[in-house]
Amino acid sequence: MSVTKVYSFESNAHVSQALGEFIAHASSEAIAKHGRFTVAFSGGSLPATACKHLRDMQSVDFSKWYVFFADERCVGLDSVDSNFRLVREELLDPLVQQGRSVPADQVMVINDTLTDSTQQVADDYLGKMQSVFTGAKTKFPEFDLVLLGIGPDGHTCSLFPNHPLLEERTAWVAPIDDSPKEPPHRITLTLPVVNHARKVAFVASGAGKASTVQAIVDERNVHLPATHVAPVNGDTYWFLDHAAAKGLSVNKPSEFKL
């Protein structure tokens, strides 16, 4: 049975430490079970929070990681808008310096020579996903972990309120050319893919996210895209600081333990 667990910490620094431990544990579980760890990162502040302590955890076998992106902006890989660049700076480059790198062919980046067409970028990324998720028993890939943030409007990945992509039921990855948040041209994992993950972890900090977190976690406001993240056979975790969790009264935070 799918469960939702909410954790609240004194500060974003404590969120980062616990999240790193959580990811490391999920990695070990997945590698022990099926020899690899498939993880999808979103952008924004999440890579810094997720990777600050994780990159120094010596128990993690990063050679078995397959890194994807929950959404990506259709920009060059060195652009300040690139989610890959964030993960490279916060995790991949430091690991290279430590001699513990994720193999380059296991980091699934967009083809940035195709960025004039978001559909071509999405089609190319689908091929990369299919090269890893082969022989699946279901029609959707099953990520070991999807790491997500939320916007003040409740968006997650690049799935925005009232957008037609919220109704997508078959595609794995979809293009979007009218993102209300810059830059407008992106690709995103779809809700069915996110909802087939074994674990989904949301990360949010600050009082500015409190009302949105409450609307999603307690009120289950269907107008907010993140509310529709409900893994079919997996679990959902919320990593919050006290400021972001302060409005919760129904799904109150529990003690963090692995």
- Tens-place pLDDT, residues 66-121: 999 999 999 999 999 999 999 999 999 999 999 999 999 999 999 999 999 999 99
pLDDT tens, 138-169?
689 999 999 999 999 999 999 999 999 999 99
Residue 73, Cβ density class (10 Å: 0-12 exposed, 13-18 middle, ≥19 buried): buried
- Identify the pLDDT of residue 138: 64
The pLDDT of residue 220 is above 60 = yes
For residue 149, the SS3 value is coil
- Identify the pLDDT of residue 134: 84
Give the full edge-to-edge strand order of the sheet including 173-176: 71-73, 186-189, 173-176
Mean pLDDT, the chain, rounded, equals 96
d(CA 17, CA 123): 36
CA atoms within 13 A of residue 98's CA, in its CB half-sphere: 17
What is the percentage of the chain residues whose pLDDT exceeds 90?
96
How many contiguous H segments (helices) and E segments (strands) does the chain have? 8, 9
The pLDDT of residue 1 is above 80 = no
Q: Which of 63, 26, 13 is nearest to 237 (CA)?
A: 26
For 209, residues 6+ apart whose C-beta sits below 8 A from its C-beta are 150, 152, 240, 243, 244
- Identify the pLDDT of residue 136: 55
pLDDT tens, 42-66?
999 999 999 999 999 999 999 999 9
Task: Grade residue 3 by pLDDT with cuts at 50, 70 and 90.
Answer: confident
Weakest mean pLDDT among 108-117, 132-141, 206-215: 132-141
Q: What is the pTM of this model?
A: 0.97
Q: Which residues pair with 240 in a beta bridge?
A: 8, 204
